[in-house]
Amino acid sequence: MLPVLASTGTAAGHPFVRVGDGPRTLLVVPGLNDPLHTVGDSWWYPRLMALYLRRYADTHTGYMVSRPHGLASGTTVSDLARGYERVLDALDVGSVDVLGLSMGGFVVQHLAADDDRVDRAVLGLSGTRLSESGAAVVRRWRDRAAAGHWGPIYRDAAGILAAGARARLLQAGSFVYDRLFEPVDPTDFLVSADACLAFDGRRVCERVTAPTLVVGADRDPFFDEGDYRAAADALPDGRLAMLRGTGHEAVVEHPAAFDGTVRRFLSR
């Protein structure tokens, strides 16, 4: 069963899972790997995402919202953000807190800059542009995706998004997953990767008036500490929280540190 008070649906063509009945609304925007398995692609994946949203259910009605399949070639991060504006219209949201996870933070930068319904924004493990090493990872994944080699992407991502025994378990499981599943629309990942590689949000962040928290990690392969500091500095009302001794796995491996930081910011 889905966690208590959880439901699934579609808004403006975007599949979502909803958890909680808190007085405020939280929109969570997933990262680059969202097209590989959206919350609308299976019965089990939204249940996993609902478990994440439960961390915020006491204060917020939380929505994890995936992108639609069938992204047009040349779609930009700005285009994706306009899709999320339509989601807010469809949900009839008057005000919203937004959390962008990883490269979902790119989308949040545009959304917060262009939509005055955003009360508070969080760039969770996201800067204004990829570091050189981060861009190299995304290009490698894009090349593998173009060749239809999804398994190496899954295993590479598992080693980045988790650590230790959990990472090894996910990597082992990816061999089975790769045989049983493939992305609903493989081109969506290519389009998304191109959008991420082309993105530079420094000027975008200058237009964000909502209080915005940048949560960084000092062992992140996609953004270095300087990238995180530059993002916070570019925001008129920005602040930075650096997590030490961890990387992109912080969401999975260190929820007290990552989500605790986010929750404290959103509760102010």
pLDDT of 11 above 70: yes
Nearest to 160 by CA among 255, 52, 247: 247
Quote the pLDDT of residue 156. Answer: 78
Residues 6+ apart with CB under 8 A from 151: 174, 175, 178
Quote the pLDDT of residue 1. Answer: 43
Quick check: 104 and 35 in contact, CB under 8 A?
A: no
Res. 174 pLDDT band, cuts 50 70 90: low
Strand order in the sheet with 212-217: 6-11, 14-19, 60-65, 24-29, 96-101, 118-124, 212-217, 238-243
Tens digits of residue pLDDT in 184-232: 999 999 999 999 999 999 999 999 999 999 999 999 999 999 999 999 9
| Cα→Cα distances 21→24, 46, 60, 75, 186, Å | 8, 17, 6, 34, 35
pLDDT of 76 above 50: yes
Tens digits of residue pLDDT in 96-111: 999 999 999 999 999 9
Residue at 157: amino acid letter: A
Tens digits of residue pLDDT in 145-172: 999 998 888 887 777 766 576 657 766 6
Quote the pLDDT of residue 254. Answer: 82
Tens digits of residue pLDDT in 121-133: 999 999 999 999 9
Top-tier CATH class for 6-129+200-266: alpha beta
Nearest to 223 by CA among 156, 83, 129: 129
Average pLDDT, the chain: 91
Domain ranges of the chain: 6-129+200-266
| Residue pointed to by tokens 């800059």 | 113
Q: Whole-model pTM? A: 0.93
Quote the pLDDT of residue 253. Answer: 80
Quote the pLDDT of residue 5. Answer: 55
